[in-house]
Each structure stands twice: as C-alpha cells, then as structure tokens.
Amino acid sequence: ASIELTPGYFQITAVPRLAVYDPTVQFEFWFSEKRVADIRQVETSARYLGTALYWIAASINIKPGHDYYFYVRSVNTVGKSAFVEAVGRASDDAEGYLDFFKGHITESHLGKELLEKVDLTEDNASRLDEFSKEWKDASDKWNAMWGVKIEQTEDGKHYVAGLGLSMEDTEEGKLSQFLVAANRIAFIDPANGNETPMFVAQGNQIFMNDVFLKRLTAPTITSGGNPPAFSLTSDGKLTAKNADISGSVNANAGTLNNVTINENCQIKGKLSANQIEGDIVKTVSKSFPRTSTYASGTITVRISDDQKFDRQVMIPPVLFRGGKHENFNSNNQQSYWYSTCRLRVTRNGQEIFNQYTTDAQGVFSSVIDMPAGQGTLTLTFTVSSSGANNWTPTTSISDLLVVVMKKSTAGISIS
C-alpha cells in the first residue's frame, strides 16, 4: 500500500492506494507536524483525524513550506495493518494563494464593507464615511468592525480608498483582520527630514530597501543587473555568473570548462578522455652502476601500496652480456678467455631470476601482478661481472625501465 498526498491551499489531501482493491477496507488517518521516530508510538505521538477512504487535512495552521506527516493504516473485519508514513506539504503556488485570499477577503464582513460601492448621485462626486459596527451572528457569536473609506466618481468611473479593522467569527475560530484598499501603500520614517519610503506597494508589486527574513519561499529568485547575474527558477535551474562554493556539491550530470582540481579526486566510474597529461601510467628508469669496463651494483625499486585498485608492474627487456677475448701466449699461440655478466632479481626477498652469460646476450623481462592491499612491492636488480683468471672483465647491461599501471582488460579481447 502507498499514500498519495495532493497539496492544496492550507490543506493536504491523503488518498491511500491498495495493491489489490478491497471494498471492505477503511483507513485510519493520523497526523503530526513532526516525524514520529518510532512507528510504534504513532497513537501516543500523533493526532487521530478519523476513519474514511481518504482525508483532507485543512487548516490555516497547515503552512506552505513546512513538512507534515500522515500515518495511515487499513482497517477491516480481520483487524488493523501496520502504519504507513507519508510526508507532504501544502501548495507552494504563491499566485494561487493570492486568489485564495481574494475569495476569503471579499466574502468577509469587513471586505464587503470596504469594497461595496455607494451610489453617488452625480459625476465628479466625493464621499467620506466612517463605519463602526458590532453584532451577534446566528450562532450567538460576537462580530465587530471599524473603518473609514473614501469614494469618488470621475468621468463615470468609481474609485475607493479605505482601511478597516475587524474581529469576525469563522469556521476556524476568531479571525482578526486589518484591510487596506488603495492603489499605493507606503511607510515613511520622517526622522531627520527623511522623505524616502522604506516600503511601497503599488501595481501588484512591493518595493523595499533592506529586508531581513527568517525564511523565504519563492518560485523564482532573480538578482539585480542587466542581464541578472543570478537567477533560480521553480524548475531548479540555477544561473550564476560567478560562484564561490565552500561546501559540498552533488550533481548527476553537467559540463565544466577549464576546471582545476587542487587536491585529490576519486572517480569510481569510467573515465573517457581525448588527451591525458600526467601519471596515469607511472614509469621510472635508471642506469645500472658500472666502472669504465664492466657493470656491477644493485638497483632497488619500491612501489607503495597506495592505490585502491589492482596494478601491474611491467619490466621491459633488460639486455646484458659478457664478452669473448682473444689472448696470445709467449709462444704466440692464440687462446680465448671470457668475461661473465650475471643478473639476479628478487621480489620481496624471493629470487625470481638468476642468469649469467658470456659472449651470448641475456634477457630479463617480466609482468608482475600487484593486488591492492597486500603491501609495498620491493624489487632488487643486482648485476655482477667477473673475468677468467681474475682478469678485468668487459660487460654491458641496458638501463632498467619500470612501468606501473592499473590492471584492466576493458576494451581488449584475445581470440
């Protein structure tokens, strides 16, 4: 079951919807201005409205811009269901509220007295009346009103200005009113000879210099300027020429031009880019230690476990070789001796490669998986050289290149 809430002027209509229609089912309606945290406490925390197929909660206390909570449960001969919560608001249509008030004001005793036309006997006539009334209605309730109004005719048209106070009995209880009928309403603070009004209402518009509001509800907000520098429409479209946002921003879509991200950025979805500059793939290279004739020394590579995704470490081919040397003895007899080049590689202390070569070329390359969350990966590359009879060797080895990248097969297939 679900609850459909329809906003109105100072009212909300609640209509329960059953998954399967049952004509024997009625509904209990409970109402609260605050959310009941524990649904089991509805009967003690909320106000019971009644039992029916639907309910219209209407009152001048149901204000626009505020949340109101309905708790509804079905009732039949078997028993009662659990409560279902629904939250809603009264209408936020400001223009509609003005029409709503129009009907209520013109139908009130004071409204009729102020707006009722008095037949003036001739054109270009004027009349000033003060009225004061006090009476009991049919329900023996007191009503009272006082006011003053001016009426004039000119060129066949009727004009009226006036103000009045009233205390009237209504269905909602006692209602006090202060009504003004005028083309222009203004307040002027005459201090220090001031003649500029602080407030003017004219032509269905209100003009004010400074306004301090606790809460503002408006379908459209527009700043000054031509064109305006800022606007917010009722459909949620925000337009601003310049925005400095120090808090968080949540968005489902959009376009950003010429953006700088000063600190870290995490992308959990797919990233597509026409051009990339930076260390999406990290590489580092280094030459092996060597003397003037042979290679000897160790390179240590440490890759921190600082990413939340699996990575791969690729070592492109490292080429190394020794040498074959010609030698002649005292009898001018020819012989040969060899220089040996050896490369040993360890991963976190465990040997993964150990090979030596003389005059043939040796090669080491590898692709090493680095799952996220398993700690720092340490690779050591040790090259050593030796010569026959402890003669000075001649060996060579290419530079070491290490490439670190995210492990992914997206967009790649092998068949």
**Distance in angstroms (rounded) separating the CA atoms of residues 224 and 229:** 7
Q: Are 362 and 307 in contact (CB under 8 A)?
A: no
Tell me the per-residue pLDDT of 188-199, one tens digit each, with 9 for 90 and over.
988 878 889 999
Mean pLDDT for all residues in the chain? 90
Tell me what the mean pLDDT of segment 158-166 comes to. 93
d(CA 168, CA 141): 9
Calpha distance 179→390 (Å, rounded):
116
Closest by Cα among 145, 139, 69 to 110: 145
Percent of the chain scoring above 70 in pLDDT: 98
Asked whether the whole model's pTM tops 0.95, one would answer no
Q: What sign does the CA torsion over 274, 278, 279, 282 have? A: positive
Model confidence over 106-126: pLDDT tens digits? 889 999 999 888 777 677 788
Q: How confident is the model at residue 228 (pLDDT cuts 50, 70, 90)?
A: confident
Non-local (6+) Cβ contacts of 175 within 8 A are 108, 167, 168, 169
How many Cβ atoms from other residues are within 10 Å of residue 27's Cβ?
Answer: 23
Q: Which CATH class for the 2-92 domain?
A: mainly beta
pLDDT tops 80 at residue 278:
no
Q: What is the DSSP letter of 295?
A: B
Would you put residue 114 in left (φ > 0), alpha (ψ -120 to 50) or beta? Answer: alpha
For the record, the structure tokens of 185 come out as: 């309403």
Q: Cα–Cα distance between 93 and 219 in angstroms, integer?
A: 8
Torsion angles phi and psi, residue 346, rounded to 5: -125, 150
pLDDT tens-digit profile of 38-74? 999 999 999 999 999 999 999 888 999 899 999 999 9
What are the C-alpha distances in Å from 398 to residues 285, 346, 355, 386? 11, 18, 15, 18
- CATH entry, 282-406, from 2.60.120, 1.25.40, 3.40.50, 3.30.70: 2.60.120
